[in-house]
């Protein structure tokens, strides 16, 4: 069975920097450390409100990342223009609400099919691999396939935020069914949001999953153990789950 890949999201290195408006810590530096520790890719979310990752970070990391950049953006002309100028290897289209604390639901691809298909085609024409951040919902999975995007990222937030074991097991089953269904459609299936050291294995063991994008939990652990160890520990848990 093939190994599962880890995309490390360094947004919250930038959150620490923005808290004081200093020049440190630099997410570009964190990305280099994460790659040295075994990250297979670096994910950054350039939000419209620039609460953490700044435009400067995107342009700098486009030059410094040695693995590959997965740039998360909302489906707006401003963000699509930046993506087509920077040309990261991957763009993941995500929903955004300015008032949200973090990404809440998945993209409503079914309800915005023409708009998301047009954005997907524009990015693909720029040589970018497109992923759609969606819930494990068959209507959304079918719509994602229809857009022509080769990748999806299943939103694991409801699983991560489950309030009890019954709810967690139900969310896990919903994700498992969605992952299998999407794989059956020929989509390359990633997953992410809210994954941490105690809930990642149940997701990582799903053989159809290509990559997990994990940020907040790794950066939080890095504050205690250091980033290199935080990344290595997460990668080890994922590989143990896949080889079990």
Ligand X SMILES: CC(=O)[C@@H](O)[C@H](O)COP(=O)(O)O
Q: Is residue 176 within the footprint of ligand X (CB under 6 A)? A: no
What is the sign, positive or negative, of the torsion defined by CA atoms of 135, 77, 99, 55?
positive
Q: Minimum distance from CB of 118 to ligand LD2JLWAY (Å)?
A: 22
For position 193 contacting ligand LD2JLWAY by CB under 6 A, the verdict is yes
Q: What's the Cα-to-Cα distance from 184 to each of 38, 93, 179, 219, rounded to whole Å?
A: 29, 22, 9, 34
3-state SS, residue 238: helix
In the list 75, 83, 94, 128, the residue contacting ligand X (rule: CB under 6 A) is 94
Q: How far apart are the first and last CA of the chain?
A: 10
In the residue annotation, 146 being an active-site residue is answered as: no
DSSP string, 40-93: SEEEEE--TT-SSS-HHHHHHHHHH-SS-EEEEE-SSHHHHHHHHHH--SEEEE
By CB under 6 A, is residue 25 in contact with ligand X? no
Q: Which of 35, 45, 96, 153 is catalytic?
A: 45
Of 90, 189, 203, 105, nearest to 145 (Cα)? 189
Stretch that binds ligand X, among 45-53, 134-142, 222-230, 235-243 (CB under 6 A): 45-53
- Binding of ligand X at residue 11 (CB under 6 A)? yes
> Is there a binding annotation on residue 184?
no
Is there a binding annotation on residue 183? Answer: no
* Distance separating alpha carbons of residues 122 and 238, to the nearest angstrom: 34
Cite the annotated binding site for 3-amino-2-oxopropyl phosphate by residue number.
Answer: 9, 20, 194, 215-216
The site for ligand LD2JLWAY (CB under 6 A) is made up of 9, 43, 153, 192-195, 213-217
Cite the annotated binding site by residue number.
Answer: 9, 11-12, 20, 47, 52, 102, 194, 215-216
Q: Could you list the active site residues?
A: 45, 72, 193
The site for ligand X (CB under 6 A) is made up of 9, 11, 45, 47, 52, 72, 94, 102-103, 133, 192-193, 215-216
């Amino acid at each position: 069975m093939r190994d599962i890949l880890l995309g490390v999201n360094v947004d919250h290195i930038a959150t620490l920097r923005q808290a004081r408006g200093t020049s440190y810590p630099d997410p570009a530096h964190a990305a280099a450390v994460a790659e040295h520790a075994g990250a297979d890719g670096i994910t950054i979310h350039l939000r419209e409100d620039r609460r953490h990752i700044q435009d400067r970070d995107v342009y700098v990391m486009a030059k410094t990342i040695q693995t590959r950049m997965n740039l998360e953006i909302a489906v707006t002309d401003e963000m699509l223009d930046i993506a087509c100028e920077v040309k990261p290897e991957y763009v993941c289209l995500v929903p955004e609400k300015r008032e949200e604390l973090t990404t809440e639901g998945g993209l409503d691809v079914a309800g915005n099919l023409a708009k998301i298909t047009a954005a997907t085609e524009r990015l693909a024409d720029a040589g970018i691999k497109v992923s759609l951040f969606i819930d494990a919902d068959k209507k959304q999975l079918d719509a994602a396939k229809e857009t022509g995007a080769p990748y999806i990222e299943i939103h694991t937030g409801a699983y991560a935020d489950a309030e009890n074991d019954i709810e967690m097991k139900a969310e896990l089953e919903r994700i498992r069914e969605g992952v299998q269904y999407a794989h059956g459609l020929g989509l390359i299936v990633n997953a992410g949001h809210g994954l941490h050291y105690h809930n990642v294995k149940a997701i990582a063991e799903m053989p159809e999953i290509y990559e997990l994008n994990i940020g907040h939990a790794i950066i939080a652990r890095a504050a205690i153990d250091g980033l290199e160890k935080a990344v290595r520990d997460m990668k080890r848990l994922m590989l143990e789950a896949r080889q079990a």
